[in-house]
Amino acid sequence: MTTLEPATDAAQDNLAALESEAIHIFREVAGEFDRPVILFSGGKDSTLLLHLAIKAFWPAPVPFPLLHVDTGHNFDEVIEFRDRVVEKHGLRLVVAKVQDWIDDGKLEERADGLRNPLQTTPLLETIAENKFDAVFGGGRRDEERARAKERIFSLRNAFGQWEPRRQRPELWNLYNGRHRPGEQVRVFPLSNWTEADVWNYIAREKVELPSIYYAHQREVYQRDGMWLAEGPWGGPKPHEEVKELTVRYRTVGDGSCTGAIESTAATVEEVIAEVSASRLTERGATRADDRMSEAAMEDRKREGYF
């Protein structure tokens, strides 16, 4: 959420410290847990997470599978990217499809068509079914006020719930991964990264991202002040006028609530320059689900969301 600027020497030291901390966290989980999994959506934070995991265990393979909670409202480019990355690194991918839960009658489609809020149940049930005991997420504390309170090792009860008043103190770099059967620990190696750090590190390490993070031509229509693309989430409606614009995405999530921004930034350097001039946070700009109430993120985290 801080101003983005091309990384100076001092910032490079900062990136090295953040990288080292994240690698330490990955190895700690590998040493202490039986069945970890990395949440992977193909977005920039989870792509960065995977990049760091690969570095943490090099030259051995990453000892965890990936888990994608698939809302069914995806951008084709992101799914293509996801599958290519999994293939390239010889990883195992578990996909939990929200559509399957809807088809089973366990979840009901919302009137507004948003599927991000529907992810929690498939996530928790897939964790339980696979007996995952540690779940890596790409959450950063700078994203949101409730996330600022999150521990790096965050214990969730048998219902996957977060209880902010009962968090374990986290001292030095001694992470406590103890949990009872049925409980799980959410792990956030990117906790101390800011959006600026993420982009500067992506530039430094030449991390490939889905193409939709960079400027391209797309047909979009305006809804609730956001530019949405056509898709299975019910748009455009007859009165919603479609325009072809040069856009890119600042975050990648469910297509029903992730908006594009008008942009000509086609390279990492141009993205860094653009974001540094922006007066909006990445979520404030393009994520409808966080606007639903003042405590939307906190409430979803309490239920078991990331």
Residues that bind other proteins (CB under 8 A): 1-3, 5, 8-11, 13-14, 16-17, 19-21, 23-24, 27-28, 30-31, 54-61, 141-142, 144-149, 155, 164-165, 167-174, 176, 178-180, 191-192, 194, 196, 278-281, 284-285, 294-295, 298-299
Nearest approach in angstroms of CB 100 to other proteins is 33
Nearest approach in angstroms of CB 47 to other proteins is 16
Which residue number, 2 or 264, has a Cβ lying nearer to other proteins?
2
Which residue number, 168 or 243, has a Cβ lying nearer to other proteins?
168
Which residue number, 30 or 102, has a Cβ lying nearer to other proteins?
30
Nearest approach in angstroms of CB 72 to other proteins is 28
Which residue number, 81 or 162, has a Cβ lying nearer to other proteins?
162
Which residue number, 13 or 269, has a Cβ lying nearer to other proteins?
13
Bridge-based pairing of strands 242-249 and 260-262 is antiparallel
The answer to whether 190 touches 48, Cβ cutoff 8 Å, is yes
Measured distance CA(200)–CA(258) in Å, rounded: 23
Nearest approach in angstroms of CB 129 to other proteins is 23
Q: Which of 131, 170, 171 is nearest to 153 (CA)?
A: 170
For 284, the token pair is: 């404030």
Nearest approach in angstroms of CB 253 to other proteins is 17
Which residue number, 107 or 134, has a Cβ lying nearer to other proteins?
134
The answer to whether 95 touches 68, Cβ cutoff 8 Å, is yes
Q: Which of 205, 210, 199 is nearest to 268 (CA)?
A: 199
Which residue stretches of 37-131 are H helix? 44-57, 76-88, 98-103, 120-130
Nearest approach in angstroms of CB 95 to other proteins is 27
Measured distance CA(27)–CA(178) in Å, rounded: 16
For 9, the token pair is: 């020497």
